[in-house]
Amino acid sequence: MLSYLSVRNIVLIEELKLDFKTGLTVLTGETGAGKSILLDSLGLALGARADFGLLRKGSDRASVSATFELAQDHPVWAVLDEAGIEPSDTLIIKRQLRADGKSPASINDEPVSVNLLRQCGDLLVEIQGQFEGRGLLDSRNHLGLLDRACQHDDTLGKLKEAYHGWRLADKALMQAQSDLAKAKEEEEWLRDAVEQLDLLSPQQGEDEALSQERTLYTNLEKIAEALAIADDALNAEAGAETALSRALSAVERVADSGAGKLDTALEALHRTMAELSEASAALGQASASLEADPARLTEIDDRLHEIRTQARKHNCTSDDLPQMHETLALRLAALDDSSGNLAELQAKLREWHDYYSKVATLISERRQAVAAKLDEAVMAELPPLKLEAARFATLCRAIATDDSEKWTNLGWDIVRFEAAANPGQDLAPIEKAASGGELARFLLALKVVLARTEAPKTLIFDEVDSGVGGAVAAAVGERLARLGAVSQTLVITHSPQVAAKGAHHYKIAKSAHDDSVISRTDMLSPQDRVEEIARMLAGEQITDEARAAAITLLGGDNATL
């Protein structure tokens, strides 16, 4: 609930501090005393557009601070949690107007945007008679209001689950169909590509191996010439092997006479002779293995050309071709098996759609039933409010199946409160069906009926009793008191019958102060209430009869007051 309001330098208000309590609080005062300024100030704190014309003359800064005492589960805390503001027992909203054209706002001392301020304000306070397009006058709220009256949160949860599943299944099917259409467009290319890679059967590392083999084959003549020279150097009559053999024979002849001095040299000559023989044999083997095969070189060139052509075609390296082959083969297999996958996705979509339709039907039927009871209850409230010829109806219409894209996680119903103020008048959206006092009383009747099912808010009515008096004004006051028993309710009124129903009474008055006019608001004592209500009854000249009538309206007598 709204527990405290502080206003500084707003038009006629120099400084104002008000404490509010539960129940019905009435605010009275003469026309022009500053009642509308008080509402403008509160509206500013709740996120209304900054009107710098409200800045008090001679001041460079104005401020409004509103304090709310809220339960931990109040819906506003969820909104603030997303903004990084932690919940507490108290919520303090502040808004300033500066002469430099800036209008900063904060919640619990954390700077916030005006959009967040307005979003929170809509959850905290509802003002009827001001800020049209918010609260009951905003048709976007009517579905939520009816659903709260239906008390079917569990079923709504199932509907949201069904909608989510349905939309996911629809998205999956559309994606699969798109993929299939795209695959069909390239099916011929895909089959040809897989067939060519099947025939090629590329292997990882094959390009490098073939390149090395090709290098060998293109240099066979040079290699053979080098091998011949080497063989001649080793084995010719004047070659290394002949010379080494002569050296070995010479040393062997005198080895026994050398007293061991030639052993090392002899061993070295034997090792060299053995390695020379091994080298000669290796040269022979190499020469024998390098027999030219002109066809092989052509095969290598053709193979390398095909591998590299396929790599360019698929925009990959030669070593990536085996993986590309596998990927394309899998795509082709998936294409061949796509009909079964589509059938499965279509079945899943039908399953979720049927579930959504089933739950949405239950929701819609519940809404229709509760809407009829709501209409009956509101119609019963209208005659005492001097709206006996008026009509009220809750439009609850389903969006057609061929327009199902407009269905949401809240179902397929369009809900709107409609009314007709006069006989013969067609039903119209409630914000267009009446104006002034009639509209205020329509909203009062609707608010009384919905009060126990709505999220907790502070309700403010601005001159809901406009244009009525006597028994009708008393009926308005009685309904406001009923609202006050459920939700904190504030009403600005000129009706003594309404004022007498308040649990708390503030008087707004203006007075001259130096060279300026100041508006002030005071809580009235029981005796002061008698005087104020007597003034409202009799005018400027208060009579004893007016005081007696005031006491009667307040439910007392001269002895008790």
Identify the CA nearest to 463 among candidates 509, 494, 496.
494
Give pLDDT tens digits for 484-543.
998 999 999 889 999 999 999 999 887 766 655 566 788 999 999 999 999 999 887 899
The percent helix, strand, coil of the chain (3-state, each to 5) is: 60, 15, 25
Q: What is the mean pLDDT of residues 93-111?
A: 94
Q: Residue 51: left if φ>0, alpha if ψ -120 to 50, beta else—which one? A: beta
Give pLDDT tens digits for 428-467.
998 888 777 788 888 889 999 998 787 778 999 887 877 7
Band (pLDDT 50/70/90 cuts) for residue 58 is confident
Rounded Cα–Cα distance for residues 198 and 468 (Å): 93
Rounded Cα–Cα distance for residues 26 and 553 (Å): 14
pLDDT at 130: 45
Please give the helix or strand (H or E) that residue 17 lies within, else none: strand 13-19
Band (pLDDT 50/70/90 cuts) for residue 131 is very low
Give pLDDT tens digits for 215-256.
777 766 677 777 677 777 767 666 677 777 777 777 777 677
pLDDT at 254: 67
pLDDT at 30: 80
Rounded Cα–Cα distance for residues 272 and 244 (Å): 8
Rounded Cα–Cα distance for residues 295 and 326 (Å): 31
| Bridge partners for 182 per DSSP | none
Q: Do 270 and 306 contact (CB within 8 A), yes or no?
A: no
Rounded Cα–Cα distance for residues 306 and 313 (Å): 10
How wide is the angle at C-alpha 38 spanned by C-alphas 33 and 40, nearest 5°? Answer: 120
Q: What is the mean pLDDT of residues 297-303?
A: 87
* Long-range pairs of 232-236 with CB within 8 A, sequence gap ≥ 24: 234/276, 234/279, 234/280, 234/283, 235/280
Q: Which residues of 388-411 are buried (b: 16+ CB within 10 A; e: fewer)?
A: eebbbbbebebeeeeeeeebebbb
Q: Is 0.85 topped by the overall pTM?
A: no
SS3 45: helix
Q: Could you tell me the end-to-end alpha-carbon distance of the chain, in angstroms, rounded to an integer?
A: 31
Rounded Cα–Cα distance for residues 460 and 41 (Å): 13
| Average model confidence (pLDDT) across the chain | 86
Helical segments of 83-132, H only: 114-124
Q: Do 54 and 62 contact (CB within 8 A), yes or no?
A: yes
Rounded Cα–Cα distance for residues 448 and 441 (Å): 10
Q: Is the pLDDT of residue 24 over 70?
A: yes
Identify the CA nearest to 466 among candidates 505, 493, 488.
493
Contacts of 271 (CB under 8 A, 6+ apart): none
Higher pLDDT, 364 or 212: 364
At 133, the amino acid letter reads G
| Bridge partners for 393 per DSSP | 418
Rounded Cα–Cα distance for residues 265 and 232 (Å): 26
pLDDT at 399: 94
pLDDT at 517: 57
Q: Do 68 and 45 contact (CB within 8 A), yes or no?
A: no
The two three-digit tokens of residue 356, written as one number = 């959504």
Token pair 């099912």 in the structure block, residue? 453
User: What is the domain partition of the chain in residue ranges?
Assistant: 187-336
Please give the helix or strand (H or E) that residue 415 lies within, else none: strand 413-420
Name the DSSP letter for residue 316: S
Helices first, then strands: H and E counts in the chain: 19, 15
SS3 134: coil
Q: Do 314 and 324 contact (CB within 8 A), yes or no?
A: yes
Rounded Cα–Cα distance for residues 339 and 180 (Å): 9
Higher pLDDT, 309 or 335: 309
Q: Residue 10: left if φ>0, alpha if ψ -120 to 50, beta else—which one? A: beta
pLDDT at 237: 60
Rounded Cα–Cα distance for residues 251 and 170 (Å): 98
pLDDT at 289: 64
> How many alpha carbons fall within 13 Å on the CB side of residue 179?
16
The two three-digit tokens of residue 168, written as one number = 């996911």
Rounded Cα–Cα distance for residues 23 and 26 (Å): 10
Q: How many CB atoms lie within 10 A of CB 202?
A: 20
**Percent residues over pLDDT 70 in the chain:** 90
Q: What is the mean pLDDT of residues 323-336?
A: 85
At 485, the amino acid letter reads A
At 373, the amino acid letter reads K
pLDDT at 118: 92
At 376, the amino acid letter reads E
**Could you give phi then psi for residue 407, rounded to 5 degrees?**
-65, 150
